[in-house]
Amino acid sequence: MTASPESIAAGLALLATIAAYALFSGADFGGGIWDLLAGSSKRGAAPRAAIDASLTPVWEGNHVWIIFGLVLLWTAFPAACSRLRRCWRRSF
């Protein structure tokens, strides 16, 4: 089986999207992890202020990547998407 140039291009776009999601939204989640682990409110005040200052302007905006990735998945690979959704539904 050989993939068409279109599906290779869509696959590369999907790879880039997943990488962007991991790098940008991953950093959102990571900020929450370091906030959680910063310790008592006195000891953790400075790192929490730094995390707030860095994340407040971008918080949640980075999740645009997973939305774009899902749209790419069901537009370019509908069969794989339906298969994944069926597995997902059956797991619960």
To the nearest whole angstrom, how small is the minimum distance from the Cβ of residue 45 to another protein?
A: 11
To the nearest whole angstrom, how small is the minimum distance from the Cβ of residue 71 to another protein?
A: 22
> For the chain, what is the total number of helices (H) and then of strands (E)?
5, 0
Query: Which residues have a Cβ under 8 Å from the Cβ of 48 and sit 6 or more positions away?
Result: 35, 38
What is the Cα Rg of the chain in Å? 18
Q: Which one, 46 or 75, has the nearer CB to another protein? A: 46
In the complex, the residues that contact another protein under the rule CB under 8 A are 22-23, 26-31, 33-34, 46-47, 50-51, 53-54, 90-92
Backbone φ, ψ for residue 83 (5° rounding): -60, -45
Q: Which one, 49 or 75, has the nearer CB to another protein? A: 49
To the nearest whole angstrom, how small is the minimum distance from the Cβ of residue 37 to another protein?
A: 8
